[in-house]
Amino acid sequence: MTYEKTIDFLYSQAPLFQHIGNGAYKEGLKTTHALDKHFGHPHQHYKTIHIGGTNGKGSCSHILASILQEAGYKVGLYTSPHLVDFRERIRVNGSMIPKKRVVEFVEKEKDFFLPLHPSFFELTTALAFKHFEEKKVDVAVVEVGLGGRLDCTNIIQPEFSLITNISYDHTQLLGSTLVQIASEKAGIIKAETPVIVGETTPETRPVFLQKAQEVDAPLLFAEEKALTSEELELHDKLLDLLPLKGLYQAKNLRTILAALPFLCASFPKVKRTNILRGAENVIKNTHLMGRWQKISDSPVTYCDTGHNPAGFQYISQQLKNQHCQNLRIVLGMVSDKDIEQVLGMLPKNAVYYFTQASVKRAESARSMAKRAKAHGLSGNVFDDVPSAYQAACEEASPDDFIFIGGSTYVVADLMKYLQENNQKLP
């Protein structure tokens, strides 16, 4: 099979969450353990770091991987979802898994895994862990796919776990209260294994305390850690060096700062200079995309994968802070998110281009426009992301500001369009 046919085969045999949502979610770890046993428990042959939470886990994963790379470690990085190419999910020192390896894996192993009816994520996780073993990585930074307790990445025994924050997302699967969601996320806390929690609320803090006490895991709340003058200086320096300029990155860096003693204890080659260069070179080292990413200098254009109210708490503030002639927002969301709350956060003085991503879960552009009108937001409707983006560019003056977002999949469609049209990013 060609690589393209292999990917089509995977999508058809193991439905992708981004396409069909909850129907792709498979509860329990029975299949994961069967795959893991078949491949010889590959994750036991290298160190791991486990990163969960609602928002920020992708950025934190990439920054930690970049720091470790700068220190000279061979680093596997497993994240999701991908934006343009499936292989973005599985990287070693920034390089995507080769197409040939994906094809070989499916051709060689499909007779084994097809009777198991694995989910797409179960299969991808098995491939990632095996690839990292084959490439003899020193460490793999592993991002949780969904939740934590029953996520198929939860078979690893990490050096430490990091949970960024808890907010409302995937409530149909993880629970309708912050306590329920936190309980699922806290499922990655392992016995006698340090865990760093970035942000808490009065409801979620006791959940982490109880779980950590149950399994005798050292627990550190990042926001409660008193920073020394040296640590404060390092935080400010990292924030200045980091090319990711979303307002929310200050919170992510505070969480990473709290994790550094555990990182250095497990990986003694990591020094201050590696930490600084890791932050500065995160895009270059790991090819992170879509986090308050600049698309164009004239007019100034940014995109962001933030897709829930907790994410838009920062994005909406950043949009309101822009000094520009006209603010133009290309917006689309998926139907299982809290659309009303996000719309209520957005600036009313912007020109909107309502659109929909090329996934079945996408809220229709017409529905978005209708719902937005009730919040005092107005604009035109576009059937796809490229046409909405083109219209925003054509109508913009050099002093305008364009933002594209609302969904990871809106940004994915934008990136595909830019790549197909050979548009180089600043």
425, part of any domain: no
What does the pLDDT read at residue 216?
A: 98
Pairing relation of β-strands 401-405 and 300-304? parallel
What does the pLDDT read at residue 425?
A: 84
pTM: 0.94
Say if residues 61 and 143 touch (Cβ distance below 8 Å). yes
- 266 with 312, same domain: the answer is no
- 7 with 44, same domain: the answer is yes
Say if residues 291 and 304 touch (Cβ distance below 8 Å). yes
Q: Which of 286, 311, 326 is the last residue of a domain?
A: 286
What does the pLDDT read at residue 22?
A: 47
Number of domains composing the chain: 2
Say if residues 288 and 62 touch (Cβ distance below 8 Å). yes
21 φ, ψ (degrees, to nearest 5)? 70, -135
Q: Which of 245, 267, 286 is the last residue of a domain?
A: 286
Strand order in the sheet with 293-297: 293-297, 300-304, 401-405, 327-331, 351-354, 379-381
Say if residues 164 and 255 touch (Cβ distance below 8 Å). yes
What does the pLDDT read at residue 336?
A: 85
- 156 with 253, same domain: the answer is yes
Q: Which of 221, 254, 286 is the last residue of a domain?
A: 286
88, part of any domain: yes
- 174 with 251, same domain: the answer is yes
What does the pLDDT read at residue 167?
A: 82
- 269 with 376, same domain: the answer is no
Which domain, by its residues, includes 399?
293-420
- 254 with 343, same domain: the answer is no
Whole-number Å distance between alpha carbons of 365 and 373: 12
Q: What is the DSSP string of 257-291?
A: HHHHHHHHHH-TT--HHHHHHHHHTHHHHH----S
**CATH number, domain at 392?**
3.90.190.20
H or E, element range at 148: none
Tell me the three state secondary structure of residue 292. coil
- 274 with 301, same domain: the answer is no
- 125 with 253, same domain: the answer is yes
- 383 with 265, same domain: the answer is no
**CATH number, domain at 145?**
3.40.1190.10
Please, what are the averages of pLDDT over each run of 10 residues along the chain (426 residues)? 92 60 61 96 98 94 98 98 96 98 97 91 95 98 91 96 85 78 94 97 95 97 92 95 94 96 98 98 97 95 94 94 94 93 95 95 96 97 98 96 97 96 85
- 207 with 306, same domain: the answer is no
